[in-house]
Structure 1
């Protein structure tokens, strides 16, 4: 959980730079690469985090550190963003890594906007998330469990998605999530990304899991219900998972409403154990 100072620093900096990132168009993808690379470096170097956020260190000194760290290949806007970040106050050093990652995702979204692919990327992220529902071993490996290296995780990811022909920015986001889990499970990162894309588009991604496919009428009914409930346009992502047996599981952001048959059976089993003192 970020402290108030970090939330304010992150949000204010991103609001300040938003129009400049948007103006990059297709070049925003290069900014995303630099931000994700820096995020990885910072995550691996706590001393560097502290050096960039130390309130007792002169801002000009921190800006010089940024230039030493980024080298001559850094885009001017990359340096401008980092100059702004190191000049702000942070609740904890690690939060500057979060802000750098947020900027990377923002850059991906603006690059996607320039090509009209923002919704498509959001749908592809949801498809990848759905594909992993019945692949627990793969999910675990992509999340950094079992001692799997970053290189092996990215290789495993490509074995999973290469035949899907996803957009290049979908692949970039998935590679970042696999290479650096950032204390999150891979599917949690996908959901976080889907939610960010939904907010960016002014829509909400509603993931609906059922045992059998929904028809067009049912999907439209869900769109109408959740558009009214959320106060903004809803996009319904349908997942077919026979293991739920029947009923429906609905996820909007972090909120899950599970009315599937399997969930009801599990609830009955828990109630029975309580009643009989097992």
Structure 2
């Protein structure tokens, strides 16, 4: 993420934080992200730093006149910023939409955990992954499939986010998109999410010791999302956002092979 995009996103998050978004606000921002992505002309205009703030407000008002007051204000605030690229603007509006959806969720909700669970379900079913990832699939049909499969099994907030992601892949694998959305949710709720890959399930004691170590390092109690992968052989691999702690046997063997080959 470029420095311009980072600053622009921070401004958008501040604009969202100054208001009280509803679930509908989030859905509207996600729909706006899809609309912007689908139009190269609209994407270029809203991301063009030479277009004045007044003109961008007029564009938003004309194209997105049905947005509620909060969604409209946040979208304008985002468009007025300088983004590193038009694609970054789309990513930014999507993140703001996800944050708005989560802001309306009950405090007891664990949307990031639900997104991880959906990610595991998709990863375990190649036919499902193809159905929701195919470029040839109708976006509305893919969203309807998500509703059918997950409504009532995860929160409405999680369903909204997943339905958006399958409609707007933008070159991303669905598992990667779900992982990124989970990180956004964790950031929005001030939670630390650690994806742990191990050869076999971790015992309760192992999870407690790992949680304590990560909390000491990051200052927040983590949520552990454990993935079982026999390919790691032994040890564990921990990923928190862009940080990776790889203590797996597979990684050490690979390092040894590289040393021997060198």
TM-score under structure 2 normalisation?
0.85
The answer to whether residue 51 in structure 2 is matched with residue 57 in structure 1 is yes
| Structure 2 portions without partners, runs of 5+ | none
**Which residue does 2:107 correspond to in 1?**
116
Q: CA deviation at 1:264?
A: 5.4
Deviations 1:207-236 (A, max 9, x none): 223343222111101101111122322221
Q: Report the CA distance shift for 1:100/1:271 in structure 2 as closer, same or farther (over 3 A).
A: closer
Q: Distance in 1 between matches of 2:86 and 2:115?
A: 30
Bigger Rg, which one: 1
Aligned residue number for residue 8 of structure 1: 7
Q: 1:217 to 1:16 in 2, by over 3 A?
A: same
Of the three residues 154, 162, 174, the one matched with 2:162 is: 174
What are the residue-to-residue correspondences of 1:128-167 with 2, within 5 Å? 128-144=118-134, 147-158=136-147, 160-162=149-151, 165-167=153-155
What is the count of residue pairs matched by the alignment? 262
Q: Is this contact kept in 2: 1:202–1:233, CA < 8 A?
A: no
Deviates most, 212-221 or 78-87: 78-87
5+ long unaligned stretches in structure 1: none
Name the CA distance, whole Å, in 2 between partners of 1:205 and 1:169.
18
Q: Distance in 2 between matches of 1:172 and 1:191?
A: 15
Structure 1 segment 32-43 matched on structure 2, within 5 A: 32-43=26-37
- Give RMSD over aligned pairs: 2.9
Within a 5 Å distance, the mapping from 1:60-79 to structure 2 comes to 60-71=54-65, 73-79=66-72
Task: Give 1:148 deviation, angstroms.
Answer: 3.3
Cα shift at 1:63 = 1.6
Cα distance in 2 for residues equivalent to 1:88 and 1:248: 41
